[in-house]
Structure 1
Amino acid sequence: MSKLPDGVDRRSIAGEERLTTEGEPVYGEPTVDGRRVWDAGRSKLGAMLELGMDTHLAGGESILYLGAASGTTVSHVADFSGPTYAVEFAPRPVRDLVDVAESRPNLFPLLADARKPSEYAGVVESGLDSIVQDVATRGQADVANRNAQFLAADGILLAAIKARSENVVADPDEVFEDVRETLSESYEILETERLEPYHDDHLGVVARKR
């Protein structure tokens, strides 16, 4: 099992060890010892950590989060990271993100399209430590490649690839192989793993910017 980032640890709830972070609750998650339970069934990054993938997160990193939605996962990320830029395309979830950010001064919600990084290039700093990506759109690898510009030379991509967003009828393993090939244009892939039993037909990817 890989080491968890500083600020993430496990607490026992009903006899089960669960990931937790310290921060204001966001989505009705249980709390224990003043910490929020990080539900891997609702978070692809949480699933990657539960499965023991080496995310290369130590805590305190600068993060670009693509596909932040209402803030379920990015709120946990902001609990243990440095500056965290949360990109979301839909206005309604961004309103929720603004509420989440009230208790997290390092979280910066951005109403923008992750497929068009020029929309936020003037706001997001360059030389970031990590990109966390969870976008349910066709061309997920292309999105990651376009946003590689924000990473430091040895920056890390942590992506959750949803097979059904690429092709509803194709075999997920074939979809994932295509995604790996496309990602290799900008990244060296370090590790991949299917995210079952937490998320069906999803691939967790850890990659380093070339």
Structure 2
Amino acid sequence: MPELPAGVERRSFDGVERLATRGEPVYGEPTADGWRAWNPDRSKLGAMFELGMDTGLEGGETVLYLGAANGTTVSHVADFAGPTYAVEFSPRPTRDLLEVAERRSRLFPLLKDARKPETYAHIVEEDVDVIVQDVATRGQADVALRNRRFLAEDGRLLLAVKARSEDVTASPDSVFSAVRESLESGYEILESRRLEAHHMDHLGIVARPQK
């Protein structure tokens, strides 16, 4: 199984070994000795780690996080990564995200639409190491392709594809196949895996920009 990034460990909480990062709690998760449990049932990236996907993360990377919502997962990312730009479209969860960022100096919330990267291109630095994408919208491959402009040549895309957000009438297998095909116009897919153990009708993808 691939090594976890620096700053992500398996720690014991009430006798159960779980993924964890060191930081202030956010959503009522168990804590112990300054560590906070990372629930893979509430985090697609956490599920990718739990399932042993090779994300390429080592810790300290600059991250562009698309679909930050209330900050559940991106708070863990900011615990172990470097500067973390958190894009969220909806004002209500962004208010929660701002509160999370108050206790994390490396977390920068942006009330923006991930489908329109030109609206935050003046804020997000070029050559980010990682794009983490978890957006509930149609055209999820298109979002990844539009935001490829920010990714370093040797960077990684960590994408959680939500089948039901893409097309509620199609089978998840058909959706995943179509997303992969579209994505390959700008990315090389390194690994993909169903996240069913933690998230129904989701596919995790690790990719890098095509040369």
Contact persistence 2:13–2:37 (CA under 8 A): no
1:13 and 2:21 aligned: no
Distance apart, 1:124 and its partner CA = 0.3
Q: Where does 1:181-200 land on structure 2 (aligned, <5 Å)?
A: 181-200=181-200
The one-letter amino acid of 2:29's match is E
Distance apart, 1:197 and its partner CA = 1.2
Structure 2 unmatched ranges of 5 or more: none
1:154 is paired with a residue whose SS is strand
1:40 is paired with a residue whose SS is coil
Distance apart, 1:106 and its partner CA = 0.6
Question: How many Å separate the matches in 1 of 2:53 and 2:16?
Answer: 20
- Deviations, residues 71-102 of structure 1 (Å, cap 9, x unaligned): 00000000000000000000111111111111
Question: How many Å separate the matches in 2 of 1:92 and 1:146?
Answer: 25
1:49 maps to what in 2? Answer: 49
Distance apart, 1:32 and its partner CA = 1.6
- Deviations, residues 147-199 of structure 1 (Å, cap 9, x unaligned): 00000111100000000011112111111010001110111000000001100
Return the TM-score normalized by structure 1: 0.99
Contact persistence 2:13–2:31 (CA under 8 A): no
1:68 maps to what in 2? Answer: 68
- Deviations, residues 82-133 of structure 1 (Å, cap 9, x unaligned): 0000000001111111111111111000000000001100000000000000
Distance apart, 1:14 and its partner CA = 3.5
Question: How many Å separate the matches in 2 of 1:158 and 1:201?
Answer: 17
Structure 1 unmatched ranges of 5 or more: none
Question: How many Å separate the matches in 2 of 1:68 and 1:131?
Answer: 12
The one-letter amino acid of 1:93's match is P
Question: How many Å separate the matches in 1 of 2:157 and 2:46?
Answer: 15
Question: How many Å separate the matches in 2 of 1:162 and 1:174?
Answer: 12
The one-letter amino acid of 1:154's match is D
The one-letter amino acid of 1:39's match is N
Distance apart, 1:16 and its partner CA = 2.4
Question: How many Å separate the matches in 1 of 2:15 and 2:191?
Answer: 31
Question: How many Å separate the matches in 2 of 1:46 and 1:192?
Answer: 15
Aligned residues between the structures = 210
1:119 and 2:119 aligned: yes
Question: How many Å separate the matches in 2 of 1:188 and 1:24?
Answer: 36
Question: How many Å separate the matches in 1 of 2:107 and 2:47?
Answer: 22
2:78 is paired with a residue whose SS is helix
1:90 and 2:90 aligned: yes
1:42 is paired with a residue whose SS is coil
1:171 and 2:171 aligned: yes
1:191 is paired with a residue whose SS is strand
The one-letter amino acid of 1:113's match is D
Identity of aligned residues (%): 70
Distance apart, 1:15 and its partner CA = 3.4
2:79 maps to what in 1? Answer: 79
Return the TM-score normalized by structure 2: 0.98
1:207 maps to what in 2? Answer: 207
The one-letter amino acid of 2:148's match is A
